[in-house]
Every structure is written in structure tokens, then in C-alpha cells.
């Protein structure tokens, strides 16, 4: 096996990859939250599920989109910060060692 050391991580590429990962998790979270919200709205006394789904579902879907976009933005920022900190630490302590075949 050949051991290599990662001494530098490109901040831009790490930020983009992190944004994509956070987007996936945000969409999953948003869908789960949407299901809970729809059932919660339908459980309110005095409302029918049909009326709730017709009026409230748009607000819930908009919320899912907002959560996904915010998750992607936060992921981008955190990915950039993490890559920047990694580069600083790798300069002081050495990079991550990886065995390649």
C-alpha cells in the first residue's frame, strides 16, 4: 500500500460538496417535517382534513423549499470554514494520512 498525505483541501470544492450533502439532509428533514405538519393541521378540532390540505399544504411546501435552501447555504458556509480550518491544522500538525492501493 502506498501512504499519501492530504496537506491541502480546496475550500471551494469542499464547500460545494458540503452544500450538496446538507441539501440532501435538509430535504429529508423537510419531508418528515411536512408529514408531521400536515397530520398536525388535520388534527386541529373544527377543521377538516380536506380544507387543511387545500389551504395549508402550500405553506408547508414553501417551508420545505426554504428549509432545503437554507440547509444548502449553511452547508456551503460550514464546508468552507471546515476546509479552511483543516488547511491551517494540516500546516501545523501535518495532513491526514491515507493508504491507497
Contact 2, 99 (CB under 8 A): yes
Q: Tell me the torsion sign for CA atoms 37, 42, 44, 48.
A: positive
pLDDT digits (tens, 9 = 90+) for 49-92: 554 555 666 777 888 899 999 999 999 999 999 999 999 999 99
CA distance 72 to 27: 10
pTM recorded for the entire structure? 0.77
- Domain residues of the chain, as ranges? 2-100
Please write the tens of the pLDDT for every residue from 12-58.
Answer: 999 999 999 999 999 999 888 888 877 776 666 766 555 455 566 67
Contacts of 55 (CB under 8 A, 6+ apart): none
Amino acid at each position: 500500500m502506498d501512504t499519501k498525505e492530504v496537506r491541502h483541501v480546496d475550500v471551494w470544492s469542499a464547500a460545494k460538496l458540503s452544500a450538496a450533502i446538507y441539501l440532501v439532509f435538509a430535504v429529508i428533514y423537510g419531508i418528515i417535517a411536512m408529514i408531521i405538519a400536515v397530520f398536525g393541521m388535520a388534527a386541529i378540532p373544527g377543521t377538516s382534513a380536506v380544507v387543511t390540505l387545500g389551504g395549508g399544504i402550500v405553506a408547508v411546501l414553501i417551508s420545505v423549499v426554504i428549509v432545503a435552501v437554507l440547509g444548502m447555504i449553511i452547508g456551503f458556509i460550514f464546508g468552507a470554514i471546515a476546509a479552511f480550518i483543516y488547511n491551517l491544522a494540516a500546516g501545523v500538525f501535518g495532513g491526514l494520512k491515507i493508504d491507497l492501493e
